[in-house]
Chains A and B, each alone.
Chain A
């Protein structure tokens, strides 16, 4: 049991009176969206009582829980309310879940990304649930005139055993809502959990499976217009001019105008990455009509010179950020990266004397790994609804990070933040792309100009070619071995365009006496940003492929080799900045060894292993491939995960399975390239995505039993699978795979892909 000070997250405890002004808390959007079942009608209360920002309880015992974080498919809309419900001690059957809109004054952290939702929501959500429970208990104690300590709760009921008094939560809710918020609350023992750790179905399953409006793209209001945008055809280009008359006579077309989303003096911040801050907007009566006009619009583009803009630095300072000029090419990128591999990098970490160790090595193993730019390709293209009035702005759109776009909205609309309401739509995927939400500014400026509510929709081509891409990366690994194949030194030099993927303090740092990590970066005008497990999504594959080859060179089993290194890091670590726990790392390798029956693979399959730590979680994976009809197929994937306590196990497995499929897809096929600044792939006819036929046939995700507070899940299963696949393909084909995507190389080996 632990006691927590509710002041820790005071924002969650605004009283009902304060909330009434917002008005939002009384909306029952689930009723609009779908016909309630008989059971729901029975449980629909006549009156709600707000206990805090997350919880309201009806007089009949029904509970509404607000899920604070934006939902992009990681199922936080089910798992976050599960945590509230657990500490509230209610019955999950009586719970309705609603998506909270963006209210930074009410909620602690409305950001979906970095696999931090559950980890960072864990304590605030438990505290909010426990505080509401304490208020109900206090109300019962007052009503029954008995000591608080004698009242117990269970599944939405209060009981005073000595007197035989009982009530459901709804009977005490009106009084509880008037009571003081307790200064301290007691949290449950983990062993007393009845909801956390049990699998609950997606709370929105019925709406998803029957096609109810849930996404911003589905939103419509009376008088709404539709908008499309036209952006420059290539990175390094900008708008010169356009001919409005080329489309103004077309059916349904109302207006065409330029939109510029940043004022010159606005200091951009970290998430203010936007590909084309100036574009052309076309407004009309329907999506199809504005898309038709897009094709006909005559516009002239010009090469942009090198430009600079102010960027918000630390502590209120402003720095200048530079966007290079030029039309970039993937072939040149590759040449430049090859040059940087030969040059010294910036030393980020050095342990022992790696140079001396390499000088005396009997053998040096050196390998370079590369991966291309990747587009996020969320299934729902970028879109946004906006209704800008003189003194009030409503925005409804897909965003992982509403707080991060507010500054850009305030400067673009010249309106105070209090007048701008961002409502959170379910997202048709995110993967990092929607941490950059400038579609909200674009939509708002379009609405402001035409003085009507609008829905702006990107075509797939717009979405794919205006990316905030995963960068292209390269990593060169070297290992020094003595005559007896003992590992003397380890060297990694990693870079990319325009950022390095290096995590210098991760494994195997800490396990090797002589260690050197160097980084390099090449500037570019191609916009990049977070993509599921940024940087880890490349460096894990490179590192874990190299360790596989190194283990082979040393004549060791790849799991045993990693465990030996982890033992060294645990018992006698090198350096003090190692950012992983070697025991937990070893734990997932041991679990995957057992669950995959590592030493006894099924006949005909070739297996590879990989393990990685990121987003505070540990994952080991084994991939089994086989060649059928001259085609490599992924037969099975086994994953072992240590992410602390698992809130919703079946949904967690689903997330893990998806990350594995995503990784295999990108390893085989994922690639964005550029010619004269223009993305060469603009739709799914050219940009190959993994499909049903190429998906692994079986995936088994197992979790390490744990009482540790939850850590990340959405990302950690993604990075290691690249190497587990590559190592498995090596066993299947006898060839190592150093350059992603693997499919072109496999095709050159006359394998069908």
Chain B
């Protein structure tokens, strides 16, 4: 066990956990930020995607010890009132079915648009390819990313 000071969604948070604990479980079990989802535990599905200094990373593979000095953003901190252009576009296209993977999808899309505000179809597919949606909402996700892109 060790103390870690974390910067999450603009707030300073402290946890006392094993240094190998993945950020996914620090967020979910220790900080009650459960919007970040557990899907596979091996960075294959994208459900646990968060931003680490603005980049989309899989929190199931990010030990808390490696996240100390970084700025972490989770779905809960993506926007103040759920009105990030990506969230708005998701709502406009009524994307979610079960909804479980969508936080990860949104975090991947938001990171993509941050670095590339006008991505091509191929760039969208490529950036989103690590996020599985078992319900198969891919067509709507792509349309929503394009809508968000137009609003940026």
A204 interface residue per 8 A CB criterion: yes
Whether the Cβ atoms of B139 and A657 lie closer than 8 Å is: yes
Q: CA of A324 to CA of B100 in the docked complex: distance in angstroms?
A: 37
Number of interchain pairs (Cβ within 8 Å): 190
Q: CA of A660 to CA of B137 in the docked complex: distance in angstroms?
A: 10
Beyond A379-B132, A428-B37, whether A209 also contacts B91 by CB under 8 A is: yes
Across the interface, which residues of A come within 8 angstroms of B131, CB to CB?
Answer: 691-692
Instruction: Choose one: A251, A685, A696; the contact of B18 (CB below 8 Å).
Output: A251
The chain A residue sitting closest to B108, CB to CB, is A692
A51 interface residue per 8 A CB criterion: no
The chain A residue sitting closest to B141, CB to CB, is A692
A258 interface residue per 8 A CB criterion: no
Main secondary structure of the interface of B (DSSP, over half): loop
Whether the Cβ atoms of A685 and B42 lie closer than 8 Å is: yes
Whether the Cβ atoms of A210 and B136 lie closer than 8 Å is: no
Whether the Cβ atoms of B94 and A288 lie closer than 8 Å is: no
A580 interface residue per 8 A CB criterion: no
Whether the Cβ atoms of A378 and B134 lie closer than 8 Å is: yes
Report the interface size for chain A: residues with CB under 8 A from the other chain.
66
Instruction: Choose one: A287, A380, A685, A699; the contact of B139 (CB below 8 Å).
Output: A699
Across the interface, which residues of B come within 8 angstroms of A659, CB to CB?
Answer: 136
Q: CA of A732 to CA of B138 in the docked complex: distance in angstroms?
A: 24
A214 interface residue per 8 A CB criterion: yes
Whether the Cβ atoms of A657 and B18 lie closer than 8 Å is: no
Beyond A692-B141, A692-B142, A693-B126, whether A205 also contacts B75 by CB under 8 A is: no
B66 interface residue per 8 A CB criterion: no
Q: CA of A429 to CA of B124 in the docked complex: distance in angstroms?
A: 24
A559 interface residue per 8 A CB criterion: no
The chain A residue sitting closest to B142, CB to CB, is A692
Across the interface, which residues of B come within 8 angstroms of A651, CB to CB?
Answer: 94
A423 interface residue per 8 A CB criterion: no
Whether the Cβ atoms of B134 and A75 lie closer than 8 Å is: no
Beyond A251-B18, A661-B138, A695-B138, whether A205 also contacts B29 by CB under 8 A is: no
Whether the Cβ atoms of A209 and B82 lie closer than 8 Å is: yes
Whether the Cβ atoms of A288 and B21 lie closer than 8 Å is: yes
Whether the Cβ atoms of A287 and B28 lie closer than 8 Å is: yes
Q: CA of A9 to CA of B139 in the docked complex: distance in angstroms?
A: 40
Whether the Cβ atoms of A202 and B135 lie closer than 8 Å is: no
The chain B residue sitting closest to A215, CB to CB, is B100
Least Cβ distance of A682 to chain B in Å? 10
Instruction: Choose one: B17, B35, B132, B139; the contact of A691 (CB below 8 Å).
Output: B132
Q: CA of A12 to CA of B140 in the docked complex: distance in angstroms?
A: 37
Beyond A201-B94, A213-B34, whether A288 also contacts B136 by CB under 8 A is: no
Whether the Cβ atoms of B137 and A426 lie closer than 8 Å is: no
Whether the Cβ atoms of A286 and B94 lie closer than 8 Å is: no
Least Cβ distance of A718 to chain B in Å? 10
Across the interface, which residues of B come within 8 angstroms of A214, CB to CB?
Answer: 99
Identify the 3 closest CB pairs spanning chains A and B, nearest first. A211-B35, A661-B136, A428-B100
Q: A429-B135, A683-B41 are known; give 18 further A-B pairs, CB within 8 A.
A: A205-B90, A211-B76, A211-B103, A218-B28, A251-B18, A286-B29, A379-B45, A379-B101, A379-B133, A426-B98, A429-B98, A460-B41, A684-B45, A689-B45, A690-B138, A692-B138, A695-B142, A697-B121
